[in-house]
Structure 1
Amino acid sequence: MNHRDGTLTLAPGSKAAGASLYWQQWSPDDDPKAIIVLVHGYAEHSGRYQYFAKHCVARGYAVFALDHWGHGKSDGTPGFVPDFSVFRDGVDQLIAQAKQDFPDLPVMLVGHSMGGLISASYLLAGQDKIAACVLSGPAIKAAEEPSGVLKAISGFLSRFFPKLGVLALDSNGVSRDPKVVADYLADPLVYNGKMGARLAAEMLGNMTSVQENAGQISLPMLLLHGGKDSLAGVEGSEFLDQHISSSEKQLKIYPELFHEIFNEPEKDLVLNDMTDWLDQQLATRGA
């Protein structure tokens, strides 16, 4: 397996233009058959996906992943984002990098948690660049739907106190594997502080946008979700399954799994389900 890393600079026009984003690529020794662009979740970073990358590379895929603005080794303020579009800008430039390296290969988008929301939001305008998409525990609906009052307060705080910490995540909801939780808490590149008001409001706004425009998404879609996910409501995956217009779509709920299904004890089963489905999409394209 080959590995390389580098930095991307957000282009002029981005709300965080000039910011440096760290990215990584894992690829097989032989020519890969397709590209997986991985979009990680809130507070974490691309380095947590080495097991994911090893599996996908063994199946013949090249994997590209970045650290979002404000995450991991990238520029930015943890728990904050000036505008949700900054996350989409980073994904777009990573896809451009992947296509530069492998111009003839199809791109498969895989988004986890907030990365699932980023991916779904990206598809509303950019699905022509993507051959198929997998969403893992996407944050499309909150585990507990916020009230109208809370949304109004969130909007006020976002405008006037954008970096004020308003939401803490329960790390015990990440995985049933105690080692995964311990490693998560000990990882210096994982942010364990509160989510700021601006990012919280931006997430809520983009959840609403994806829900209202889900019918515009028409590419092949695989939705994977842990049935006992306490951090991102399984209702979000069910909603997408019911409302996207894709003729090729599949929803798979793992009844006992927590939020990070790629880090659960059953991770090999989940990863095989994902790459088997991606292989099917490639076979259909080649038919």
Structure 2
Amino acid sequence: MEHTEDTVESAGGLKLYYQAWRPPGQPRTAVAIIHGIGEHSGRFKNIVDYLVARGHAVYALDLRGHGRSPGQRGHLMSWSEYREDVKAFLGRISTREPGRPLFLYGHSMGGLVVLDYVLRHPEGLSGTIISGPPFESVGVATPLLVASARILSRLWPTFALDVPLEAEALCRDRERITQYLGDPLVHRRCSVRWAAEALDAGAWVKAHAAELRLPLLLLHGEEDRINTAAGTRRFFESVSYPDKTLHLVPGGYHEPHSDPGYEQVLQRVEEHLLSHMPEAARP
């Protein structure tokens, strides 16, 4: 496995950090990962190890205000800034993986970022994978957070709030939880403008679900206490595009890629990748 680190310039001249992992030889596909709120590109080791071992290249970005990328932690002024981040990231991958089938993989808040992007810009993509999206958040979008975001967003947009995320709800692997709690690149803060923009983005994505025109794989743990599986099921039913799959993980928590038995989930992911490659390139 070849591992590289680099930056890519996005809107406002921000140099965003990203990592790439490539197998020996020519990859079958390229997978671009967009992380959730407060996390970063280094939290997807299981996905990287599984897919790269099977011949896929994996790229993962630190969005602005996250990980090793610049910006106030958990802050943006407009959700369109994330669209610009994703656009720049995909442009870099396309340059490095010309002609390769390219998939966008978004986890949690990253799933919302990805869906908002592909509903507007599906071109150049072979499909998308969405994991644990925040269509119905119960552990983070508390009434206090929502009210504070709406009131303060225009008055003091950079004002930071604690994100009441329960670490024990992430997965059933105690070692992974310990790693999360001790990770210096993880933060649990968001600005009121970020919260307001996230609420608006979520409403927009749900309202435009029927316009999706990319192959879709939705993953969600049935016991997710942060974002409910019921919200994802409702979104899935609103998607009219026929090439769609919903995989609910029995007993699964918020991170299907971190839970015990994650290999079965990632097998579904690879099946999605392989089934949407050009016919001549399939194994």
TM-score in terms of structure 1 length: 0.92
Bigger mean CA deviation after superposition, 125-134 or 230-239? 230-239
Match of 1:252 in 2: 247
Bigger mean CA deviation after superposition, 217-226 or 47-56? 47-56
SS of 2:154's partner is helix
In the alignment, residue 187 of structure 2 is paired with which amino acid?
A: Y
Give 5+ residue unaligned stretches, structure 2.
none
In the alignment, residue 9 of structure 2 is paired with which amino acid?
A: T
What is the alpha-carbon root mean square deviation over aligned residues?
2.1
Bigger mean CA deviation after superposition, 195-204 or 142-151? 142-151
8 Å CA contact 1:140, 1:210 repeated in 2: no
In the alignment, residue 170 of structure 1 is paired with which amino acid?
A: E
Cα separation, 2, equivalents of 1:271 and 1:145: 26
Give 5+ residue unaligned stretches, structure 1.
none
Q: Deviations over 1:114-164 (max 9, x none)?
A: 000000000111112211111011122323797999756532211112223
Match of 1:45 in 2: 40
Q: Residue 239 of structure 1: CA displacement?
A: 2.2
8 Å CA contact 1:40, 1:113 repeated in 2: yes
In the alignment, residue 54 of structure 2 is paired with which amino acid?
A: R
Cα separation, 2, equivalents of 1:285 and 1:207: 37
Cα separation, 2, equivalents of 1:140 and 1:152: 18
In the alignment, residue 194 of structure 2 is paired with which amino acid?
A: L
Quick one: which of 176, 181, 190 aligns to 1:180?
A: 176
Cα separation, 2, equivalents of 1:144 and 1:286: 42
SS of 1:38's partner is strand
Match of 2:228 in 1: 233
Quick one: which of 19, 30, 35 aligns to 2:30?
A: 35
Q: Residue 240 of structure 1: CA displacement?
A: 2.3
Match of 1:155 in 2: 150
Cα separation, 2, equivalents of 1:145 and 1:76: 22
8 Å CA contact 1:144, 1:233 repeated in 2: no
Aligned length: 281
1:79–1:279 Cα change, 3 Å: same
Match of 2:68 in 1: 73
2:78 corresponds to 1:83: yes
Cα separation, 2, equivalents of 1:206 and 1:199: 10
Alignment of 1:126-145 (within 5 A): 126-143=121-138
List structure 1 segments (4+ residues) > 3 angstroms apart after TM superposition. Answer: 144-153, 283-287
2:121 corresponds to 1:95: no
In the alignment, residue 176 of structure 1 is paired with which amino acid?
A: R
Cα separation, 1, equivalents of 2:124 and 2:231: 24
SS of 2:88's partner is helix
Alignment of 1:189-228 (within 5 A): 189-192=185-188, 194-228=189-223
2:9 corresponds to 1:9: yes
8 Å CA contact 1:167, 1:196 repeated in 2: no
8 Å CA contact 1:157, 1:164 repeated in 2: no
Q: Residue 189 of structure 1: CA displacement?
A: 0.4
Match of 1:262 in 2: 257
Cα separation, 2, equivalents of 1:100 and 1:230: 39
Match of 1:165 in 2: 161
Cα separation, 2, equivalents of 1:147 and 1:79: 17
